[in-house]
Structure 1
Amino acid sequence: MTKPPLTLYLAAPRGFCAGVDRAIKMVEMALEKWGAPVYVRHEIVHNKFVVDGLRDKGAVFVEELDECPYDRPVIFSAHGVPKSVPSAAQARNLVYVDATCPLVSKVHIEAQRHADAGLQMIMIGHEGHPETIGTMGQLPEGEVLLVETPEDVATVEVRDPERLAYVTQTTLSIDDTAEVVTALQARFPAIVGPHKEDICYATTNRQEAVKAMAPKCDAMLVVGAPNSSNSKRLVEVGARAGCDYSQLIQRADDIDWRSLEGIKSVGITAGASAPEVLINEVIAAFGERFDVTQELVETAKENVEFKVPRVLREPA
């Protein structure tokens, strides 16, 4: 039987970013150095396939430090943690390694610098996301106010409108964040912004690739986890950029083939914590059903690499 023709547009960049790659490598190196089990506070990155793979190698994922025994090392996730977490680890004499993405750490340092200058912080971010919790936890309670939308800006109560600064979560929608920043600057003209954009290069690059790809596609699939902020933003960016059917899937098994009947083109991308093996799995699934032509939509090249901490590079 003849397969119907289909053009697969593949976004580039897509998938793993340098911070995710480093965090996964850190867990693997910790297992090599200290043996199993190694404890990880929160999912090291938001991807079930990655987490399950590390669990199979001996990583134990917990939500709080008190779930960790005294005699095993613990790793903090790439999303960052409040200052209280390393303090608690030190109080218990735990061996710990911080896998916080360096670009998230940059936001933490920035928040502290503004606080040291006497400015109250406003954070643009998603309530309850571990990165937001980690960044807000760099300063005493009440020193960081959270806003998510321009509507939140209208009602936020600050100590002194002349003494404010803002930071953002690194995985937000560029366009949505710009709207919130505009609202902040309109209400608080003296507010101080980041020295350099907080939304990270990987989030920006993946969103730009989707914007370039979406108008060409009858449907767009984002490979990523439902708790991955940057993956969910890619779905929204795709829909906003002109692709009416923009969906998040974790694996090829999640593809709703009935909804894709009669289509001629599909865009595929992946969040920053989704491994290439899952993207290849999706491409193969289309190849089984369609006569596929692949086209790369490349909007940037990435060659960023972050070093792992020295403690993991030294022998046990």
Structure 2
Amino acid sequence: MNRTRLTEYFAAPANDDAVVVASAFNHPRRGYVWCPASPLLAAWLTSRGVPAVVQPLDVCLHQSSKQIPDGGVLFATSYQDAAHGTIGIAALAQGALRDQAEQAIRTWTACLRTRRLLVPLVNTACGSPLAPLPPQGRSERTPLLASKHRIPSVCGSVVAARDCLVDFKQRGDTVLLVGGGGIAAGSTSAALPDEPRVLAVPDVKAAISINVDDAAAAAFVVNPCSPTEEVAHILAVLRTRFPLLRGQHPDQWCYRTTDSRSAVRTAVAQSDLALVVENDQTDWLPEGILSVRSLGDLDPTAIASAATIALVGAQRGSNEPGVGVNDLIESLAGLGPTSVVYQRVVSNISTDFLKTADPSRGRACLPPSASAESPSQRRAKS
């Protein structure tokens, strides 16, 4: 890239209303030049009080000398990309806006380099809330949301939690719903304040203060999508306070949120710069991660020195308000050869590990069999 990079000036017709940031233009020698970073340049100018618009330039450009010409000027930097042809950044202005256009090109030209973008794949909300139980006086034809009446659109973790909650309530236990639930607070499941004998325990503070009528008849169910590391801390407190606490088997815990957070932390640890978009739940994010609500928030100084950037947030386009990860990918990919690396963390729960254990270990002593079978034959039959 550096060997093919050119920063040039071209005489071109312009107006005094705004800086025109080129989304594409025709270079006199290099031909068509694509400018993916044009929304970024326009947002940066706008954030500094400079009127700017993005549009393709279909004008005849005249190569200038080293001296900047009078009138309208297109300030442009372009480079050859092996995979995508000629890429560039360009801004057209005249009059009082020429200095701002030139400064924008010089500032962002300093950001051109080869870089990696690490995108942790964050799970989205499953959209299947742990809804209140049907009324106690329900018709026998109205089934509970249990595994034998599984609804295909409902998350399996929600079904498992519902099964456990129903079982514990039928035994007469007070059920503690552990964890805040959801990829984001309230997105997939919520506490059940209207349910008799179901108490929400969203955090350690609640675990310390909560009381039950009968400590020997307390049970817990994990709120689906609650971070398992937080669930473990809450249960450590509850088991100390209620030694006879029974609860949902860990085979049924949901790791969606835990995996998402692990993917984010891993990407941030590998990066020189980490940016988060569209995320109101920032209490668990690693230190040093920067919040981005628009392309104009990007700092060219930070971008220039970052060979690896982590992008955290929703993978969506710019057709919605705000900015998404895809918007950042496209803009940053216009600032040099770019590799986008998608990373995912997946927890797989094993429930059949005892089937592979050596059956001869820990076997109780049995009286000798009348048959003359060898130990190997008996193991084969078992």
Q: How would you bin the TM-score normalised by the shorter chain?
A: 0.5 to 0.7
Deviation at 1:111, TM superposition (A): 0.8
Distance 1:254 1:192 in 2: 50
2-side partners of 1:165 and 1:132: how far apart? 19
* 1:24-56 deviation line (CA, Å, top 9, x unaligned): xxxxxxxxxxxxxxxxxxxxx4xxxxxxxxxxx
Unaligned runs of 5+ in 2: 1-76, 78-108, 143-150, 318-323, 349-382
Structure 1 residues 283, 100: closer, same or farther in 2, change over 3 A?
same
Evaluate the alpha carbon distance shift between residue 79 and residue 299 of structure 1 in structure 2; reply closer, same or farther with a 3 A threshold: same
Residue deviations 1:173-209 (CA, integer Å, cap 9, x gap): 3322221111111111211121135542432322222
Paired position in structure 1 for 2:311: 268
Q: Distance in 1 between matches of 2:340 and 2:243?
A: 48
Counterpart in 2 of 1:14?
122
Q: Any unmatched runs of 5+ in structure 1? A: 21-44, 46-77, 92-96, 227-231, 303-316
- Residue of structure 2 equivalent to 1:205: 259
Q: Contact between 1:15 and 1:275, CA under 8 Å: does it hold in 2?
A: no
8 Å CA contact retained: 2:228, 2:253: yes
User: Which residue number in structure 1 is paired with residue 71 of structure 2?
Assistant: none
Greater share of helix: 1
| Greater Cα radius of gyration, structure 1 or 2 | 2
Q: Which amino acid aligns with 1:258?
A: D
Q: Residue 117 of structure 2 contacts residue 339 of structure 2 at CA under 8 Å; is this kept in 1?
A: yes
**Greater relative CO (CA pairs within 8 A, separation 6+):** 1
SS in 2 for 1:170: coil
Post-superposition CA distance 1:213-264 (Å, at most 9, x none): 22112443455564xxxxx3xx44441xxx5215486xxx467313954551
| Letter of the 2:129 counterpart | H
Match of 2:365 in 1: none
Matched residues in 1 for 2:247 and 2:178: separation?
11
Question: What is the percentage of aligned positions where both structures have the same residue?
Answer: 17
Aligned to 2:173: 119
Q: TM-score, normalised by structure 2?
A: 0.47
Task: Output aligned runs, 1:167-246, within 5 Å.
Answer: 167-197=221-251, 199-222=253-276, 226=280, 232=281, 235-239=282-286, 243-245=287-289
Does structure 2 conserve the Cα–Cα contact (< 8 Å) formed by 1:131 and 1:169?
A: no
Residues 1:281 and 2:338 aligned together: no
Q: Which amino acid aligns with 2:186?
A: H
Return the alpha-carbon distance in structure 2 between the equivalents of residues 220 and 236 of structure 1. Answer: 15
For the 8 Å contact 2:177–2:199, the answer to whether it is kept is yes
For residue 79 of structure 1, report the CA deviation from its aligned partner: 2.4
Equivalent residue pairs, number: 216
Which one-letter code corresponds to 1:292 in the other structure?
T
CA distance in 2, matches of 1:177, 1:117: 23
Q: Hey, what's the Cα distance between the residues in 2 that align with 1:193 and 1:183?
A: 14
State the one-letter code of the partner of 1:117. Answer: R
- Change in CA separation of 1:223 and 1:258 when aligned onto 2, cut-off 3 Å: closer
Please state whether the residue corresponding to 2:122 is helix, strand or coil: coil
Task: Tell me the secondary structure at the aligned position of residue 182 of structure 1.
Answer: helix
Partner of 1:75: none
Determine helix, strand or coil for the equivalent of 1:136.
Answer: coil
Q: Could you tell me the TM-score, scaled by structure 1's length?
A: 0.55
